[in-house]
Amino acid sequence: AQSVTQPDIHITVSEGASLELRCNYSYGATPYLFWYVQSPGQGLQLLLKYFSGDTLVQGIKGFEAEFKRSQSSFNLRKPSVHWSDAAEYFCAVGAGHTDKLIFGTGTRLQVFP
């Protein structure tokens, strides 16, 4: 069955530091992979997505992610974190002909000044 694992429940970084959020997936075919961000009480905003082609994907707000098939990973990175990046981050895989999304449990990012 398809699944997504985000091993880090909570990460704290200082403003200006680099960031990497981990995501591992389990899916039999070539996956469609997504990263979403959610602020408290809000819906989900798409940061970036991978379908095929270049394995390094650029997204909004300065985020990027790298698809590594051999490691079944799709880690999210940002070179310099801003205080406004504090939020919950969800990795997801698109599954089946309906393209329903299977989400991980999320990583809460806290940013210290």
> Does residue 101 bind another protein (CB under 8 A)?
yes
Measured from the CB of residue 16, what is the shortest distance to another protein in angstroms? 28
> Does residue 59 bind another protein (CB under 8 A)?
no
Cα gap 17→95, rounded to integer Å: 34
What backbone phi and psi angles, to 5 degrees, belong to 70? Answer: -65, -25
Cα gap 64→35, rounded to integer Å: 10
Residue with token string 């070539």: 30
Measured from the CB of residue 28, what is the shortest distance to another protein in angstroms? 17
Q: Which of 35, 63, 67, 90 binds another protein (CB under 8 A)?
A: 90
Per the structure block, which two tokens stand in for 64?
């990027």
> Does residue 43 bind another protein (CB under 8 A)?
yes
Binding window for another protein (CB under 8 A); candidates: 11-19, 61-69, 70-78, 100-108: 100-108
